Amino acid sequence: MGRATLANIKGKGFSELAKEVKTISEDTNKVSNTNKNRNTTSSDSSGKKNRRRTRKMMMPTAVVVSPVQRLYDTCKDVFALSGTGIVPNRDKIEQLRAVLDKILPEDVGVTPKMPFFKRQVTQPAPTITYLHILQCEKFSMGIFCLPPSGVIPLHNHPGMTVFSKLLFGTVHIKSYDWVVDVPPNASVVVNPSQMQHPEVRLAEVKVDSYFTAPCNTSILYPADGGNMHCFTAVTACAVLDVLGPPYSDPDGRHCTYYLDYPFTKFSVDGVTVPEEEKDKHAWLQERENLEDLVVDGAPYTGPEIVEN
C-alpha cells in the first residue's frame, strides 16, 4: 500500500472517529438535560460511563509498521556509524539479524511466479535480475533474483559488512577469506600458457554448502565470514542483501571478481599447507572477463519505505 493511500485511510479514520465522538457528546448532553432532576448518584454513574466510552473511542489506532519499513529503520540504527572497515558491535549485528530472519518473500513483494525466476534455455548464461530497494551513504538494500542455474560469480565486499537472507529456493554458496600469513617473498610457479595473468593469492574456504529457505541469515565481515562469495541457484531463488557501507569506487569499495583454482594446481615456494587442509584452500585470481554474468535491473514493487 502506498504512502498516499495509507495517509488517506488514516485521515478518514480519524475524521470519522471525531464525528462519532462529537455525536456521542451531543447525545450525552441531551440525556443529561432531560434527566436533570434525577438523583445525583445515578447522574454521576451515567456521566462516568459516557466519559469512559468517549475516552475509549478517542484513542488513536496504532500505526502498523511493515516488515520492510522495520528493516530500514533497523539498518539506519545499526549502520549509523558505518564506514569502510567499521563493523557494528555484536548487539547491533544480532538486532539486524533478528529482523532479517523474520522477513518473508511477500514482505518485499517477491514471488517465485515472477518472470525473473523462469528457467532460461535459450541463453548461455541465465540472466540475474536485481531489484534495487534503496541506497544511502551508510547502507544499501536490494534483492537478487536468480533463475535455476543462475550464478553470481565469486566477488568481494571490501571493508563491508554484508547480510544475506535467502527468501525462497535452494542455493549453493561458496565463500573465501584471504590467508594473511603467507610469506611476503612467496612466489607462485606457473605455466604461462595456463593463465593470461598469473598473479594469484591464497585464500581459505569458509563456506561450501547448500542452503534452502527458510534458513538463518548469513553474515560476512570485512576480513572474516567469507568476504568473497559465489552464489549458484539450484532452484529459482531470491536473496535479500543488506550492505553496510555500500559499494563506492571513490571510497575504495570497488567490486572485484575472481576465478578460483585448487591449491594443488600451482607449486608455491615458501607456502605449505597440511595435506588434510589442501582442499580447504584455493588460489584466487582477479578476472575482468565477465561474459558469464548478465544482470538486469527491475523496479522494486514491494511495500514502500518512508525514509526519515
Fold of 65-190+198-295: Jelly Rolls (2.60.120)
1-5, 22-26, 251-255, range with greatest mean pLDDT: 251-255
Tell me the pTM.
0.76
Beta-carbon neighbour count of residue 60 at 10 Å? 9
- Tell me how far CA of residue 283 lies from CA of 3, 44, 72, 177, 180, in angstroms: 50, 85, 37, 11, 13
Q: pLDDT-based confidence at 15, cuts 50/70/90?
A: very low
Beta-carbon neighbour count of residue 266 at 10 Å? 18
Q: pLDDT-based confidence at 80, cuts 50/70/90?
A: very high
Give the rounded distance of the alpha carbon of 74 from its chain centre: 11
Residue 290's pLDDT is 86
Nearest to 153 by CA among 143, 166, 165, 144: 144
Q: Which helix (H) or strand (E) holds 19?
A: helix 3-34
**Higher-confidence residue: 182 or 149?**
149
Q: pLDDT-based confidence at 58, cuts 50/70/90?
A: low
Quick: pLDDT tens for 106-121.
999 999 999 999 988 7
- What is the three-class DSSP state of 47? helix
3-state helix, strand and coil shares in percent for the chain, rounded to the nearest 5: 30, 30, 40
Whole-number average pLDDT of the chain: 81
